[in-house]
Structure 1
C-alpha cells in the first residue's frame, strides 16, 4: 500500500477568503469519491498558525505504484491540480505501508 500525502502552501496574497482557494478546497474534498484507485481520502485545512505550517493537506491510500500512476493522471485529479497550481506551491511524500 502507498500513503500519498500532499501539503499545499498558498502563494503570497492568497488566503481562504479568495474564491479560488474555496473552489480548490471543494474539488480536493471530492477527489476520493471520483478516483476509484483511492481506498481512503482525507482533505482539510491546517489549523496550525505556525509560520512554517502549510495551509491545506490531502492524504490518500492506494494499492501500489501502478494505482498511484492512474490516480495522478485521472481527469478529476488533473482538474484539482489545475486549481491548486494557480494559488499554491506544494510538496508530496509517498510512503510504503
Structure 2
C-alpha cells in the first residue's frame, strides 16, 4: 500500500468560504466514490491555527505505484486539483506502509 498525503495552503486573502474553495473541497470529497484506485480516503480542514499550519489535508491510500499513477492521471483527480491551483499551493508525500 502507498499512503498519499497532501497538505494545502490557501493563498493570501483566500478564505474557506470563497465559492471556489467550497467547490474545490466538494470535488475532493467526491473522489472517493469516483476513482476506483482509492483504497482509503479522508479529507478535512485543519482545526489548528498556527503560523506553520496548512489549511486543508487529504490522507489517502492506494494499492501500489501503478494505482497511484492511475489515480493521479484520473480525469476527476485532474479536474479537482485544477480547481485548487487557482487559490492554493500544496505539498505532497507518498510512501509505502
TM bin (shorter chain)? over 0.9
Q: What is aligned with 2:18? A: 18
Q: What is aligned with 2:82? A: 82
Normalised by the size of structure 2, how large is the TM-score?
0.97
* Alpha-carbon distance, 1:59 to partner: 1.2
Q: Which 4+ runs in 1 deviate beyond 6 A?
A: none
Question: C-alpha distance in 1, partners of 2:51/2:2?
Answer: 29
Count of aligned positions: 97
Residue segments in structure 1 that go unaligned for 5+ positions in a row:
none
Q: What is aligned with 1:29? A: 29
Residue segments in structure 2 that go unaligned for 5+ positions in a row:
none
RMSD: 0.6
Question: C-alpha distance in 2, partners of 1:52/1:15?
Answer: 17
Normalised by the size of structure 1, how large is the TM-score?
0.97
* Alpha-carbon distance, 1:53 to partner: 0.6
